[in-house]
Amino acid sequence: MRPPIAQFIAEKVRVFDGGMGSMLIAAGMPVGQCPETFDADKIQNIHEQYVAAGADFILTCTFGGSALTLGKHGLAERTREINRRNAEIARRAAGNRAYVVGDLGPTGELMEPFGPYSEEQIVAAYAEQVRGLEDGGVDAFIIETMSDPREMAAAAKAVRSLSPKPLIASMTFTSTPRGYRTVMGTTVEQAVEAMTAADADILGTNCTLAPDDIAGLVREICRYTRRPVLAQPNAGRPQIEGDRVVYPPIENLEQHIEAILDAGARLIGGCCGTNPDYIRLVRSVVDRRNKS
């Protein structure tokens, strides 16, 4: 048995996994395929690579697993079953070596008054996903890559109405001349306030920013909260090469990982474009710091 997550993360800096999307493509996922229904063995193999690279936490392959997002593939009716399957895949890969975190991403739809969906509809779309992730035995939940604090709150409401397990809320920011903002214009302070009000145990930021420009954001988040903070930057700044997105390597990556930890992150992983090699490097930096 692994210790409760709260205790596990209080002891030391801990490592999350890296990106799933680019790994799925590398594993042969066809364009247009719904990632949540991709080959189970291939998904499991990606999880296993992250566990072998030293991830303490792995995220289920359910970023687009809300009923609304699966509905775009005609799979809304199978939301619970698909999420259960993918939680079980991650569970098998994790064994007793890592915690499994049920992953909830944005629905890709706008809530009233900017879009057609009521709060109740968004909560219901997430609730069906949460039921499946619970069926599959996840250890915790993460709501990630959120730009709209209200959608984040709706997802959190769905989790909290169904599960007492640890909840991570992670929002994504761009760097603007006026400071870090979500694309909805939310400030860091407002985002922290919203994530706290949503009863997240761990607050985080992921995606959009590269390892060399996320430390300032982490520092700012830490200024507004005493809760543990998770940072999951992208591998770098994306470039389009033909029909693919690539992330040219960041110089001095190790120093940037150090800077993210110096800024106050207690949990660190990677988002788009990161891979097991990146996580291995994160692991080695974290191990060195945990020892000293």
Report the C-alpha gap between 125 and 97 in whole angstroms: 31
Q: Tally Cβ neighbours within 10 Å of residue 226.
A: 8
For the segment 37-66, give every residue that binds Zn ion (CB under 5 A).
Answer: none
Shortest Cβ 233–Zn ion spacing (Å): 9
Assess contact for 20 and 63: CB atoms under 8 A. Answer: yes
Q: Tell me the two tokens of residue 175.
A: 């760097």
- Residue 127 or 215: which CB sits closer to Zn ion? 215
**Per CB under 5 A, 143 contacts Zn ion:** no
* Tokens 């700012």 found at: 220
Please report, as residue ranges, which positions from 106 to 135 form the binding site for Zn ion (by CB under 5 A): none
Interface with Zn ion in residues 155-194 (CB under 5 A): none
The length of the chain, given as a count of residues? 292
* Per-residue x/- track, 234-253, Zn ion (CB under 5 A): --------------------
Q: Are the beta carbons of 218 and 205 closer than 8 angstroms?
A: yes
User: In this chain, which stretch among 118-126, 248-256, 263-271, 277-285 interacts with Zn ion, using CB under 5 A?
Assistant: 263-271
- Assess 271 for contact with Zn ion (CB under 5 A): yes
Q: How many residues bind Zn ion (CB under 5 A)?
A: 3
The span from the CA of 171 to the CA of 128, in Å, is 22
154 in contact with Zn ion (CB under 5 A)? no
Residues with Cβ < 8 Å from 177, sequence gap 6 or more? none
Contacting residue, 5, 104, 155, 207, with Zn ion by CB under 5 A: 207
Site residues, Zn ion (CB under 5 A): 207, 271-272
